[in-house]
Amino acid sequence: MKTKKIIALLGASLAWTTAGYAQETVKIGVILPYSGPFADAANQLQAGIDLYIAKHGDTVAGKKIELIKKDTGGPAADVAQRMAQELVVRDGADIIAGFALTPEALGAAPVAEEAQKLMVVMNAATSMVTEQSEYIVRTSVTIPQVNYALGKWAFEDGGVTQAYTLVSDYGPGHDAEKSFSAGFTEAGGKILGSDRTPVANPDFSAFVQRVKDANPEAVYIFVPGGAQPAAIGKALVDRGLAPPATKILAQGELTHPEALASMGETARGIITTFHYTLERDDPLNKEYVEGYTAANNGREPDLFSIGGYDGMHLIYEALKKTNGDTSGDALIAAAKGMSWQSPRGPMSIDPETRDVVQTVYIREVQEVDGKLQNVIIHEIPDVKDPLH
């Protein structure tokens, strides 16, 4: 739907929706793909939201927090836009949040801009998301943030001088390829070749064979979560591309706990970059992991859950700063420059870009007490998105 139509739909409602701070309830519209191919990511993000509310209560600045959930079944940008409109116009939402997927964040952004509503992006990781509205703030990660850092580290500290990149052929994969390659080549490394795999149900065998033919010291991988990490891990091992002979570098989804369980020994030695590591030895993180696993039938937290958890922290702290004023201008002003200690480590919101600044972790899959897990081997503090 065009922006003019959005304005027309919103026009009649703005008189009462922008006065949300006078109400006794703060309504937060959460837009996520609770069903469909990304349902697991959405439900983990929601579990992070729920854990924060359970821990900190459902009243902030004297007002009751009310969640209104909308299921896109996504990825579906147009559905997310329609749901954002419904939340503002019909449901009287004060804040919109969630957004596991970049297309859905981009779909909702014009609504946040026209309605002047705080929009908290709790996952969508494409760099340009926060540029779409001055009311958007992100509490997750950006793909360039972690992958540029990994590329730089690979040459400067990882002993890699040449590499091959293999990524999923969609926006996040393109971002990952570009940012890893930039960090790597700027540091002095050489990219021997690059390839892109289909997003849906790829057969990795032909792609991995091309990697083998190039004979790189390392291969950089980016694939979505779910079944693909185990599939590409097996394809690499089947063709003799595995640590220590060939270094495998990737964004953290490749070695999620569920992926590690599926990959077994083929995961040993894989090096990944991420902004959250559940094994991180820190009292705040241990408390978070224990609380999360207890509330989710033993399921361990992941990047989706921590984005939701910290997204709620930002909302709560912003409401405290504004004394319950839910106007978009007041809340975004409160969010800019905010800093806190998260289970992931120290983090803050850049006052200029409204994007997250945080520690980037380089991890290696190692055996600890008989179990393969991600072990932090290097930390890079206060990392901003390199494209902003």
Regarding whether 148 and 137 lie in a shared domain, the answer is no
State the pLDDT confidence band at 159, using cuts at 50, 70 and 90.
very high
Q: Distance (Å, rounded) from C-alpha 119 to C-alpha 108?
A: 9
Could you tell me if 313 and 367 lie in one domain? Answer: no
Give CA–CA dist 202/232, Å, rounded.
9
Please write the tens of the pLDDT for every residue from 291-305: 999 999 999 998 999
- CA atoms of 118 and 139, how far apart (whole Å): 13
pLDDT of residue 3: 53
pLDDT digit string (tens) for 172-201?
899 999 999 999 999 999 999 999 999 887
71 and 120 co-located in one domain: yes
- What is the Cα–Cα distance from 1 to 86, expressed in whole angstroms? 13
Give the domain CATH number at 229. 3.40.50.2300
**Is 388 a member of any domain?**
no
Where in the sequence is the domain holding 129, given as residue range(s)? 3-141+284-354
The pair of structure tokens assigned to 117 is: 């509503």
pLDDT for 20: 42
Same domain, 113 and 160: no
Do 323 and 242 lie in one domain? The reply is no
Residue 129 or 4, more confident:
129
Which residue in this structure is represented by tokens 């030895």? Answer: 281
136 & 23 share domain:
yes
* 267 and 370 housed in the same domain: yes
Residue 279 covered by a domain = no
pLDDT band at 1 (very low <50, low <70, confident <90, very high): very low
Q: Which residues pair with 380 in a beta bridge?
A: 360
Q: Is the pLDDT of residue 323 over 80?
A: yes
Tell me if 216 is assigned to some domain.
yes
pLDDT at 372: 93
Q: Is the pLDDT of residue 16 over 80?
A: no
Domain count, the chain: 2
CB atoms within 10 A of CB 169: 13
pLDDT at position 17 is: 44
Residue 3 tokens read as 């922006």
155 with 206, same domain: the answer is: yes
- Does one domain contain both 242 and 350? no
Domain assignment of residue 377, yes or no: yes
Task: Please report, rounded to a whole number, the percentage of residues in the chain having pLDDT higher than 70.
Answer: 94
- 246 plus 178 within the same structural domain: yes
Within a domain: 246: yes
Cα-based distances in Å from 202 to 144, 155, 164, 170, 218 = 24, 30, 18, 13, 21
The reply to whether 101 and 181 lie within a common domain is no
Shared-domain flag, residues 19 and 115: yes
